[in-house]
């Protein structure tokens, strides 16, 4: 299995290829309209989410006590990911293709709320955090694509198939049904 640095290099190389392809498709050297239109806000949304998924929210955060690059990138806040690692076994549910990345986003949201709540208890005069305007689908969709793509590249490099966990669960169901026959 690749190290954290190798995972990061794979994601950086893939990002460079995607960027070059997108740049080419938005500026096709013909007289026709470009086949792909990407606004600067969409490009920034994709890029930030892809970088966050690569460097901060790696699937390997499920290693509770391990020295994981992603945890190290959090600096002094890296300890906040220890409970996540205790909740999920390495290469278990957190390494599934759809729900695994979602677990990290939900966990991050819960940690932000917890930290803000604790700060608010300590400093009651703390103003409410600014509430962002509702994000449009034109900004949210590129962010989700960037985040999930960075996660999937990690899983592909680990050799995790898209049906990871489903096959094992399917076998458990079949073996359980045999007991009733």
Q: pLDDT tens for residues 120-153?
A: 889 888 776 665 667 788 889 999 999 999 999 9
**Inside any domain, residue 27:** yes
Neighbours of 88 (CB within 10 A): 21
**Inside any domain, residue 129:** no
Residue 16's domain comprises 4-124+137-180
In the 8-state DSSP scheme, what is residue 74? T
**Inside any domain, residue 8:** yes
**Inside any domain, residue 24:** yes
Length of the chain: 181
The percentage of residues in the chain with a pLDDT greater than 70, rounded to a whole number, is: 82
* Residue 140 neighbours by CB under 8 Å, 6+ apart: 45
**Inside any domain, residue 130:** no
Q: pTM for this structure? A: 0.83
Each residue's pLDDT tens digit, 34-56: 667 788 899 999 999 999 999 99
**Inside any domain, residue 131:** no
Total of domains in the chain: 1
Check residue 115 and give its pLDDT.
Answer: 85
Check residue 98 and give its pLDDT.
Answer: 93
**Inside any domain, residue 30:** yes
User: Which range has the worst mean pLDDT, 30-34, 67-71, 83-87?
Assistant: 30-34
**Inside any domain, residue 92:** yes
Q: Which two tokens stand for residue 83?
A: 């409970």
State how far the Cα of 147 lies from the Cα of 120, in Å rounded to an integer: 30
Check residue 102 and give its pLDDT.
Answer: 96
């Amino acid at each position: 299995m690749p190290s954290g640095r190798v995972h990061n290099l794979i994601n950086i190389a893939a990002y460079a290829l995607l960027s070059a392809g997108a740049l080419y498709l938005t500026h096709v050297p013909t007289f026709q309209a470009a086949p792909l239109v990407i606004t600067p806000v969409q490009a920034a949304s994709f890029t930030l989410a892809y970088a966050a998924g690569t460097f901060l929210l790696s699937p390997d955060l499920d290693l509770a006590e391990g020295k994981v690059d992603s945890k190290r990138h959090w600096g002094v806040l890296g300890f906040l990911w220890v409970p996540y690692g205790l909740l999920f076994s390495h290469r278990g549910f957190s390494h599934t293709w759809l729900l695994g990345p979602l677990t990290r986003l939900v966990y991050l949201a819960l940690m932000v709320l917890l930290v803000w709540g604790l700060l608010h208890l300590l400093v009651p005069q703390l103003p409410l955090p600014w509430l962002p305007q509702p994000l449009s689908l034109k900004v949210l969709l590129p962010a989700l694509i960037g985040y999930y793509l960075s996660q999937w590249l990690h899983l592909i490099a680990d050799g995790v198939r898209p049906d990871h966990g489903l096959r094992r669960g399917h076998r458990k169901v079949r073996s359980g049904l045999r007991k009733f026959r």
